């Protein structure tokens, strides 16, 4: 097959080398964006007089036919035509004849592919933000059901202090809010149009870059043509934001995995988000959560892969940049599917409130309550801390908990301790009393939920 760039070459191409150099199997994901960009480009060529009106109209009509065929799944792409751009040009030629060759006037594949990627990422970042919003909505709804559900709070994966389960869920709401903000901020760098930079130096044709940028809905154009075709910072930023988002999902997935275990039994995931064992009939495995935890690694890999591709590239375009797309597409699909799965898991999971509560009654997570109790009565906190630490040690040796210590023993330790200590040591009381802003007190959690609902406009 004759190459669209083959005029300079004498030798025939080799199929297996063509396959190695082709990117169509990857970049056909941008077929829609490629056609949108071409329509904007030909509109500008016609309105600036670079093409005759009838030429621009014929090309525009042909591109619209290709859009319709693409929507119906009727377009076939070939490795011989290398990438989505040359495939579309060949298909356009088949529709309208030689005038199709004028579409590429004042344009290079270099600024064309960069434009496609900006368009693709702009659309999909917004879809990811919507998916984050859905997960946040599920978290807030579940939190509203469990404002007064008490569970152990952990540090070092050891029982630390009792907290509200809703408070724990809302911590992830806040992480996701930052993820959404980061993605929103990245649109400032994504929403810039490289079209018109041509190969690297601009063009001699009297193009109107502002017109194409406006037609495509971009907020700005690249100020430097070299930068326009070589910049992949906007993809790196997206991959970095995506890595942080996946890290948050992975942390939460790890907790779900722990909570569904026999040792915790805090929650049960529905069968839709679980799988069984081929040999152990009793098993119900949290595989979807495990997969999200595992897929975090591939998103990290996509970020480091592109950083490595770019680290030694001179300006402007180099074939290495063909490696910039697969990781971007993979990350987008990984995020969208992971967020959808996570939303479903949260919406449908069963929370075992009583199990959570009981786990706070058979531990020493109320030790801080006793230290605070003594400090509130005037004892220096460090002294109170030491007293309670020694008491916990004595309890562990005797096999009982702080709420089981007789009042006489308490008063032998400190006359400041009175009969009200047992109410103060109750985990529910401990949680309810933490009224500091942003704390786990039930009133604070309820306030956080209302603020979240307003932010989400639930």
Q: Which residues are catalytic?
A: 156, 277
Beta strands in 318-439 (DSSP E): 350-351
Tokens read off for 344: 């479903």
Q: Compute the radius of gyration of the chain from its Cα atoms.
A: 31
Task: Give one word for 106, left, alpha or beta, with left for phi > 0 and alpha for psi -120 to 50.
Answer: left
Q: Which residues have C-beta within 8 Å of that of residue 336, sequence separation ≥ 6?
A: 124, 127, 128, 131
222 - beta bridge partners?
none
8 Å CB contact between 166 and 346: no
Strand, helix or coil for residue 152: strand
8 Å CB contact between 292 and 304: no
Quote the CA–CA distance of 399 and 388 in Å, as a whole number. Answer: 16
8 Å CB contact between 295 and 334: yes
Q: How far is CA 319 from CA 58, 228, 230, 247, 257, in A?
A: 32, 16, 11, 31, 43
Q: Quickly list H helices, 157-286.
A: 165-190, 209-215, 225-230, 233-259
């Amino acid at each position: 097959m004759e190459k669209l760039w083959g005029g300079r070459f004498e030798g025939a191409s080799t199929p297996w080398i063509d396959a190695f150099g082709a990117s169509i199997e990857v970049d056909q994901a941008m077929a829609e964006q490629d056609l949108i960009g071409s329509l904007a480009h030909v509109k500008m060529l016609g309105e600036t007089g670079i093409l005759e009106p009838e030429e621009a109209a014929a090309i525009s009509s042909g591109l619209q036919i290709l859009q319709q065929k693409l929507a119906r799944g009727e377009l076939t792409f070939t490795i011989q035509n290398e990438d989505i751009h040359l495939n579309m040009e060949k298909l356009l030629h088949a529709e309208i004849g030689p005038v199709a060759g004028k579409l590429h006037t004042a344009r290079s594949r270099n600024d064309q592919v960069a434009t496609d990627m900006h368009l693709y990422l702009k659309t999909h970042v917004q879809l990811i933000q919507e998916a984050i919003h859905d997960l946040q909505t599920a978290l807030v709804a579940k939190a509203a059901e469990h404002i007064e559900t008490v569970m152990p709070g952990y540090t070092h994966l050891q029982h630390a202090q009792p907290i509200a389960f809703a408070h724990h869920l809302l911590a992830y709401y806040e992480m996701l809010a930052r993820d959404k903000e980061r993605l929103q901020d990245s649109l400032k760098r994504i929403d810039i149009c490289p079209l018109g930079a041509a190969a690297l130096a601009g063009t001699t044709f009297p193009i109107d870059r502002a017109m194409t940028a406006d037609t495509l809905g971009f907020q700005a154009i690249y100020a430097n043509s070299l930068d326009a075709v070589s910049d992949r910072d906007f993809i790196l930023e997206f991959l970095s934001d995506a890595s942080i988002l996946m890290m948050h999902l992975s942390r939460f997935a790890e907790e779900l995995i722990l909570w569904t275990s026999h040792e915790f039994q805090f929650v049960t995931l529905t069968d839709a988000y679980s799988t069984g064992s081929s040999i152990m009939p009793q098993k119900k495995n949290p595989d979807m959560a495990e997969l999200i935890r595992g897929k975090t690694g591939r998103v990290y890999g996509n970020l480091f892969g592109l950083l490595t591709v770019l680290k030694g590239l001179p300006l402007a375009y180099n074939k290495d940049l063909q490696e910039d797309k697969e990781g971007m597409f993979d990350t987008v699909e990984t995020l969208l599917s992971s967020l959808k799965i996570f939303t479903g898991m949260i919406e449908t999971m069963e929370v075992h409130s009583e199990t959570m509560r009981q786990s706070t009654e058979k531990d020493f997570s109320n030790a801080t309550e006793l230290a605070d109790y003594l400090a509130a009565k005037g004892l220096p906190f460090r002294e109170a801390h030491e007293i309670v630490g020694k008491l916990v040690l004595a309890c562990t040796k005797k096999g009982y908990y702080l709420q089981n210590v007789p009042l006489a023993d308490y008063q032998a330790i400190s006359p400041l301790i009175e009969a009200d200590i047992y109410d103060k040591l109750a985990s529910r009381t401990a949680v309810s009393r933490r009224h500091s802003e942003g704390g786990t007190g039930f009133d604070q959690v309820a306030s956080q939920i209302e603020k979240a609902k307003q932010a989400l406009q639930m």
